[in-house]
Amino acid sequence: MSDMITDCESLLGQSSLSGPDGRRGFLKVALGTGFAVAVLPVAAQNVIKTDSAGLVTGSMSVMVDGQAVPVYAAQPEGKTGLPVVLVISEIFGVHEHIADMARRFAKQGYLALAPDLFVRQGDPTKVGSIPELMKGIIAKTPDAQVMADLDAVVAWAKQNGGDTSRLGITGFCWGGRITWLYAAHNPAVKAGVAWYGRLVGEPNPLQPSNPIDIAATLKVPVLGLYGGKDTGISQESIAKMKEALAKGGNKSEFVVYPDAGHAFNADYRPSYVAADAKDGYARCLAWFKQHGVA
């Protein structure tokens, strides 16, 4: 069984940005700040900056089988019994964009938790190229490890002001794939929103299943937000996923933005499509509300 503890002040008390130096200080400074090296330079003119006014934000960690898993957390100040949303990063890890997404959800009344799911394999924010990142970290990250880490984060939330009977998950790119898989793994999830997550692929020992493989038995409703011009995720794969979901009677839905490519929500990248990102986020919030997360 995974044993989990907090590694800093409870989010229900003072801000976890205050406190002693050392390892905790490093987490507070590093997690959720700056942008991943592989995406520099950022398209600064488009970057959305959500402030922390009225929020408690910062870093904590949960312990999973002896490994401290850092988590960027954001929640409304002075509130408890909050709906919980897991925010799952792209391959670039928990950098500024993912922390900002967590703050956006916190502004909507959620306890938003963005865990560093690559902590054992390396720091993706420091890797200089996408091919190096894929080979050196992403390909070496087991799905089973990710599922266990997310289970521990959910357990932490339940003990620290979160109402896990209202649990949602959303993720981007790599995190979109994980959103589908965790919705299948944890039946307590009320709803998921997967942003351009890969649906099909060649299984391997560390990633033995893809969303298409769990579609027929999936019970959790997932909203898929995809780009019509995404060269990495074909419309054919989306059609196959819809067919597999329908066989199991699942109520998941897809929205395909015809003029968007991959990563259309990434406001720090040239791929950003402001109108589609705004619409997708509104649909995400509505989906959570519709299915009992909000």
Catalytic residue numbers read 173, 230, 262
DSSP E strand boundaries for 37-88 = 55-64, 67-76, 82-88
Backbone conformation region of residue 58, classed left if phi is above 0, alpha if psi is from -120 to 50, else beta:
left
Is the sign of the CA dihedral 207, 74, 285, 101 positive or negative? Answer: negative
Largest interatomic CA distance in the chain: 54
Q: How many CB atoms lie within 10 A of CB 249?
A: 9
CA dist., res. 8 & res. 70, Å (int): 11
CB distance 238 to 224 below 8 Å: yes
Whether the CB-CB separation of 98 and 71 falls below 8 Å is answered with: no
Tell me how far apart the alpha carbons of residues 103 and 110 are, in angstroms, rounded to a whole number: 9
In sequence order, which residues have a C-beta less than 8 Å from that of residue 133 and are 6 or more positions away? 38, 91, 92, 124, 127
The dihedral built from the CA positions of residue 13, 32, 257 and 181, taken in this order, carries a sign that is negative
Do the Cβ atoms of 191 and 294 come closer than 8 Å? no
Output the six-digit token pair for 82: 């909050």
